[in-house]
């Protein structure tokens, strides 16, 4: 058995070696830091029953130290002296305790303790972590010691009487030994600082116990911020290598860990080491309230379904992704789409359904960050809806709470609705519920007996489940569909069919010819006739933008080059050229197109007559002169030189003025052959004119 001794027993052997001695303090510090050390002198280890005590192997105490403080060389002799002196101290303590305390001294110390303890409360509140009971206890002890120090100089007051009164009033349970009390009151409790140091330094940091210098701290924090996210062991190893090379004291892993686990240090470094954890645990969070009306805010996000099924080609089993658009006010799913992968067309399809079913645009849309949202089509749609008064913005990266409603909806939909379908695999790997995962053997049996769902079956099933969610109500809560329909929606913007085409359909620039538009999709030509008479006259020969839906080519929308809507046109009916192949429907369509053509021609003639009548009413007889350039030339050049020229020509060619025709303007829309039949033209020349006009 090792021959050990405690520091207190050293103090008993040598009263000079006490807490007031500098060598005593240095020894205590070194023993606490170097427990279980392999050094040959001052070997020590922790007390098995009290970790705060240190057991020193007596034979490892240097001989110089024993000689200086008068310690016995032999361990047995030291133990015998300790036993004798402890017995003497106990006898003296009993004698002092048997003495009655002076009532005046007891009463005065009690009064000063209670009256002066309040001013010492702030000194210990931080140290006691705002614990009122602990703070009050230490403050009263401090006030009592101050009163004892002041009372010891009063004439007629003995130290034994003060010690007796102190033992009755003190709540700390220390200084039971009269001799120690006498030494402390004379040498240590002489200043305010000396008294406060007896209470754990009142929360102040002790420089003599510091293990980490500023250099240590800087190296530890720089290593902790390393991109490889080193562990405490790695940090300690690297730090001690540097300390050994530069003559600094080495530190333990526990010291490094204690520093890094301090709240101020941990939270500060967490912002660099793990940004996501910092945002969740430390960074301030702005609380949000729900939308006030339906259509104020839509959330858009996607999540894999928990029901495996065949892909479209039935070549492998996959889990499709469900994309939804959720109204923040009513929690209704206003649009959704199911696809194998997340791409731009999936997002656009979900929004198209949301806008088409509601017939309006919301005031704002918050969508999840994804690769599809950076595509040209998505950015173009974002700009278009902004022009219509709808703001689209991405949720902040690493902030799942920014779209918590739709994230929570996916969890509820999986656990309550998808669970009803056989083949449901569970709520996902992050689920903490006991029923979150389905038994693998049961799933294997289900897939073996029933197989996997086809894509069409999955779409049909999920559509039914989403509709069931929208229609579900409780006694205290209306169904999402009812809540959405009953709201006034003051901030939604109505959207027409041509605006939906402008947002989601593809477009090409095509020139209108013969009142129709021709467009080829996947090498298949489609023809669309313009039936509106005004549009026919306006657009023939002009280039327009044709917006079309590849899934439904029955109609297209025409826009001008500035994206202003013009009209919607439907696909033209194609009939057989051979009459034997024509059906009654073909005949009816042929007659309809012929009637439309005749009506268009009548429209043109009526417009022409109307314009002529307007001109006639405005100009009167001057219209005939305006239509006869020859008469206008006569008036423009009616002078002496003109008269001389005309007289010479008439005499030379023997022109009779009576045979010169007077011009009469044509006021009706006659065919060209009838129009020129009134002129005195030879028959051959008339035929040439008619043929040329027809060409």
pLDDT of residue 430: 54
What confidence tier does 7 reach under pLDDT thresholds 50, 70, 90? confident
Does the pLDDT of residue 439 top 70, yes or no?
no
What is the rounded CA–CA span in Å between residue 537 and residue 572?
18
- Tell me whether the CATH fold assigned to 298-486 matches the one assigned to 496-572: no
Q: How many Å separate Cα 275 from the centre of its chain? A: 13
pLDDT tens digits along 457-485: 888 989 999 999 999 998 889 999 999 99
Residue 17 has pLDDT above 90, yes or no: no
pLDDT of residue 591: 83
C-alpha to C-alpha distance for 543 and 513, rounded to whole angstroms: 9
pLDDT-based confidence at 98, cuts 50/70/90?
Answer: very low
Q: Give the pLDDT band (50/70/90) at residue 334.
A: very high
Q: For residue 191, what pLDDT is reported? A: 63
Could you tell me the pLDDT band of residue 309, with boundaries at 50, 70 and 90? confident
Residue range 658-670, pLDDT digits in tens: 777 665 555 554 4
Query: What are the pLDDT digits (tens) for 577-592?
Result: 788 787 888 888 788 8
Q: What is the pLDDT of residue 97?
A: 46
Q: What percent of the chain has pLDDT over 90?
A: 17
Stronger pLDDT, 615 or 242, i.e. the higher one = 242
Write the CATH number of the domain with boundaries 496-572.
2.30.30
| Arithmetic mean of pLDDT over the chain | 79
When pLDDT is cut at 50, 70 and 90, the band that residue 347 belongs to is: confident
Q: Rounded to whole angstroms, how far apart are CA atoms 32 and 122?
A: 30
Tell me the two tokens of residue 406: 């739709």
What is the pLDDT at residue 109?
A: 85
Of the candidate ranges 36-40, 105-109, 225-229, 523-527, the one whose mean pLDDT is the lowest: 36-40
Please check the confidence at residue 352 and state whether its pLDDT lies above 60. Answer: yes
DSSP state, 367? E
Fold classified for 298-486: Nucleotidyltransferase; domain 5 (3.30.420)
Which residue in 515, 568, 512 sits closest to 543, CA to CA?
512
Q: Is the model's pLDDT at 613 over the cut of 70? A: yes
> What is the Cα–Cα distance from 471 to 475, expressed in whole angstroms?
13
CA 256/CA 494 separation, integer angstroms: 63
DSSP line for 135-158? HHHHHHHHHHHHHHHHHTTSTT--
Residue 364 and residue 386 in contact, taking contact as beta carbons nearer than 8 Å? no
Residues 458, 309 contacting (CB under 8 angstroms): yes
Residue 192 has pLDDT above 50, yes or no: yes
**Residue 199 above 60 pLDDT?**
no
Element (H, E) at 118: none
Rounded CA gap, 671 and 541, in Å?
A: 25
pLDDT mean over 12-35: 68
First to last CA, the chain: 132
Is the pLDDT at 68 greater than 90? The verdict is no
Buried b (16+ CB within 10 A) or exposed e, 588-602: ebeeeeeeeeeeeee
**For residue 53, what pLDDT is reported?**
77
Is the distance from CB of 54 to CB of 7 less than 8 angstroms? yes
* Structural domain spans, the chain: 4-96, 99-205, 211-281, 298-486, 496-572, 664-695
Average pLDDT over residues 343-359: 88
What lies within 8 Å, CB to CB, of 204 at 6+ separation is none
Cβ neighbors of 438 (< 8 A, separation 6 or more) are 424, 425, 426
Three-state DSSP state, 55: strand
CA 57 to chain centroid, in Å, comes to 62
Beta bridge partner(s), residue 585: none
Apex CA 289: angle with CA 284 and CA 290, to 5°?
Answer: 140
């Amino acid at each position: 058995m090792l021959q050990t001794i405690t520091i207190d027993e050293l103090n008993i052997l040598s009263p000079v070696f006490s807490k007031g001695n500098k060598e005593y303090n240095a020894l205590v510090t070194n023993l606490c830091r170097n427990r279980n050390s392999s050094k040959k002198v001052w070997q020590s280890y922790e007390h098995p029953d009290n970790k705060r005590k240190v057991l020193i192997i007596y034979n490892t105490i240097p001989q110089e130290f024993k000689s200086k403080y008068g310690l016995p060389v032999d361990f047995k002799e030291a133990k015998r002296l300790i036993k004798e002196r402890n017995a003497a101290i106990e006898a003296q303590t009993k004698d002092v305790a048997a003495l009655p305390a002076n009532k005046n001294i007891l009463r005065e110390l009690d009064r000063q303790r209670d009256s002066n303890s309040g001013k010492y409360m702030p000194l210990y509140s931080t140290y006691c972590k705002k614990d009122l009971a602990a703070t009050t206890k230490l403050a009263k002890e401090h006030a009592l010691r101050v009163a004892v120090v002041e009372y010891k100089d009063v004439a007629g007051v003995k130290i034994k009487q003060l010690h007796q009164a102190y033992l009755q009033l003190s709540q700390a349970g220390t200084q039971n030994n009269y001799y120690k009390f006498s030494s402390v009151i004379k040498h240590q409790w002489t200043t305010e600082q000396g008294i406060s140091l007896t209470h754990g330094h009142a929360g102040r940091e002790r420089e003599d116990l510091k293990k980490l210098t500023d250099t240590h701290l800087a190296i530890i924090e720089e290593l902790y911020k390393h991109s490889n996210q080193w562990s405490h062991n790695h940090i300690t190893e690297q730090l001690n290598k540097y300390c050994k090379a530069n003559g600094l004291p080495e530190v333990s892993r526990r010291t490094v860990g204690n520093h890094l686990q301090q709240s101020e240090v941990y939270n500060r470094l967490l912002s660099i080491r793990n940004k996501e954890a910092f945002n969740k645990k430390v960074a301030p969070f702005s609380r949000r309230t729900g939308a006030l009306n339906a259509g104020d805010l839509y959330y858009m996000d996607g999540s894999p379904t928990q029901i495996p099924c065949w892909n479209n080609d039935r070549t492998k089993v996959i889990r499709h992704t469900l994309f939804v658009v959720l109204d923040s006010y009513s929690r209704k799913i206003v649009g959704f789409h199911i696809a194998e992968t997340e791409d731009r067309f999936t997002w656009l399809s979900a929004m198209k359904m949301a806008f088409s079913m509601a017939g309006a645009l919301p005031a704002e849309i918050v969508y999840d960050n994804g690769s599809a949202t950076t595509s040209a089509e998505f950015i173009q749609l974002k700009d278009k809806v902004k022009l219509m008064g709808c703001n689209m913005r991405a949720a902040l990266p690493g902030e799942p709470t920014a779209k918590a409603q739709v994230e929570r909806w996916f969890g509820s939909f999986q656990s309550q609705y998808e669970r009803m379908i056989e083949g449901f695999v569970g709520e996902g790997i992050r689920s903490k519920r006991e029923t979150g995962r389905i038994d693998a053997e049961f799933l294997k049996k289900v897939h073996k007996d029933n197989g996997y769902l086809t894509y069409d079956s999955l779409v049909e099933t999920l559509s039914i489940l989403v509709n069931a969610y929208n229609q579900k109500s409780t006694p205290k809560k209306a169904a999402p569909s009812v809540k959405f329909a009953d709201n006034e929606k003051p901030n939604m913007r109505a959207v027409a069919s041509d605006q939906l085409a402008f947002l989601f359909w593809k477009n090409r620039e095509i020139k209108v010819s013969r009142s129709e538009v021709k467009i080829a999709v996947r090498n298949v030509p489609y023809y669309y006739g313009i039936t509106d008479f005004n549009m026919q006259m306006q657009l023939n020969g002009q280039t327009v933008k044709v917006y079309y839906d590849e899934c439904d080519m029955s109609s297209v929308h025409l826009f001008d080059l500035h994206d202003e809507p013009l009209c919607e046109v439907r696909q033209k009916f194609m009939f057989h050229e051979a009459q034997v192949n024509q059906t009654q429907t073909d005949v009816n369509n042929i007659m309809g197109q012929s009637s439309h053509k005749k009506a268009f021609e009548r429209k043109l003639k009526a417009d022409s007559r109307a314009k002529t009548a307007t001109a006639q009413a405005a100009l009167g007889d001057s219209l005939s002169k305006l239509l006869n350039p020859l008469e206008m030339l006569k008036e423009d050049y009616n002078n002496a030189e003109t008269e001389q020229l005309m007289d010479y020509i008439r005499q030379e060619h023997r022109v009779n003025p009576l045979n010169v025709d007077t011009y009469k303007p044509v006021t009706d829309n006659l065919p060209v052959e009838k129009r020129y039949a009134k002129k005195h033209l030879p028959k051959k020349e008339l035929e040439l004119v008619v043929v040329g006009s027809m060409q």
